[in-house]
Structure 1
Amino acid sequence: MAPLPLSEPSGRFLSMLEREQIAAGVARGDSIRAIARRIDRAPSTVLRELRRNRGASPHYRPRRITRPPRRAATYSPSIAQARADRRLARPKATKLESCHRLKVEVYRRLRLGHSPQQIRARLRRDFPDDEQMRISHEAIYRCIYVQGRGQLRQELAACLRTGRAVRVPRARAKRRNAEAGKQITGMVMITERPAEVEDRAVPGHWEGDLIIGKNGESQIGTLVERTTRFVILLHLPGRRDAATVADQMITQMSRLPEHLRRSVTWDQGREMAAHARVKAELDLRDGVYFCDPHSPWQRGTNENTNGLLRQYFPKGSDLSGYAQHYLEYVADLLNTRPRQTLEWATPAEALHQILSTPPETDGVATTA
């Protein structure tokens, strides 16, 4: 049966006319699905409406989705509309605000470092027979990020593992990363990187990234060689656009001998949009590779080096005030620091040993 035309628009919420047609269907003994087809709604919408508003008891629940149960309780469109209007009234008290015991328990566990998911699960386990001590992890997040105010909000947010005072929607983060990736054409992913890069047996493969300063308004580029852990810092005081980053990479890496310029691995930041130019001008024989999103371990050497650099460039500081000669000074400190992974040699010594050894050929026979 085709749905009947309604005199008022059918939007997100059921209208009074739709509720009258539901009542008529219930009186005729129509099934839930037949009523739903008549008003052009999902069967779950009709079932939910009857569960909420049929009969005097708000806790009444029909058992089947095929046909409303035949019982004395009736469905009144006017009463259903009045109940819906009351539920829509705003502002509404949150569950934490309406149950003091639950609020105290949630706040206590947050301060102990429990995550909202852990709190939700433990409340169900610790209070199995108390329905008032139930709350979803999303409701806890809303309490912190939406309803929270002032010092209390900061204190509770600091209890979370991320420590963030603002929640970034997952869909927005995924969309931002996808958009960033789309702006870089011709990316070659890290999965296509030669196997020789992984075992660090062949020098000349570099990993790069940016360390960001206060408010994201300043930056320093970092490059580290995988075999020797030798560090090069890129001076980027004012900008981190693709052209500026490419200029600095070409200037700094062109000082290296050709056999130490094999590849560069970077994340999918837009600052590497000019990777084709970097590859061409530096004559990178293996090219530029890009890591997967949210996979910093794929540049583990660079991530570790950036952590060491934070001793000299603390988080939250303005990085634009550091001159090129200071960057070279810091790089020299790291390159002359003994490393256990190099059997207590320094990166500078490891690099010097490579430079003093004639480069091996690629084993490709040439013909006259």
Structure 2
Amino acid sequence: MAPDKPVSSRFLTQDDRIAIAEALAVGVPVAQIAAQLGKHRSTIYREIARGRTETRYRADTYQPWWSHNQVLLRRRRPKAPKLAGTSPLRTAVMDKLRQGWSPQQISRYLTRCYPRDAAMRACPETIYRALFAGHLGAREHKLRTGRTRRRRQRRGMPHKNRIPNMRPVHTRPAEANERRVPGHWEGDLIIGRGLRSAVGTLVDRATRFVHLIHLPGGWKAPQLRDALAAQFASCPGTCCGPSPGTRAESSTTTSRSPNSPAYRSTSATRTPPGSAAPTRTPMACYASTCPRAATSHSTLCATCAPSRNSSTTGPA
């Protein structure tokens, strides 16, 4: 007889059946036996009823070894798998798998198309087992994932090398990174509520001197790039380039000269927020003085009005 392989903790093992026989021999109640084994008493009653047999010395006695052997015989599945041979069912399943159907879709399709043919039925579990057991050939079929909705496909430029000749932000000079020397400028973009207004900023990383840039033509990457490049011409010193995550990262023309490189963040580099976020004036944020954009759907989308330059006394 094959060795005892526990299927699940819900089923009785050979040791459990021996314990039942020993407890019945000394007159232990069935409820107490069930409590000792951690099973329901109905399970013990059914096991005793199935395992009774006649012996040489006593009739109608529970035999644990005979009962366990009967369980192993009943557990066997001598029949061949449903999708192992060559049959119309296997052909239909393989055809739908090649078309990218999921096992659930194939099962419902077979039930709908062959309502009176029991031989053309296969539940999703049967298809999964046949596929991973190799009964359907090689595993060249790509099963669908368990998403109820299709994931949105990536649009636009690829993430890798989307900016030619990009200089990572972690390679910028230490004096610019530590905000020790004035003259290193950082560009950023502030977008208003509901994407209805925007203002560009140029901030000196050391002194926090800020220029607010009006964007009347919109705040897409080309418009922001041109506005930053125009403002760079009037700024003294070098430039640190757009802040990580701004729309001006899509172009490398924001650098004014080869001696003033623009540094940008990469996906593998964790960078702190730009200088525009903590920049404050003595009367709170100067950008808040721009007129608020219209929130009604019936009005036109407007940007903020031009603002004069402002400076701060120090970091906020």
Structure-2-length-normalised TM-score: 0.48
Larger Rg: 2
Higher relative contact order, chain-length normalized (CA < 8 Å, sep 6+): 2
Task: Name the one with the larger helix percent.
Answer: 1
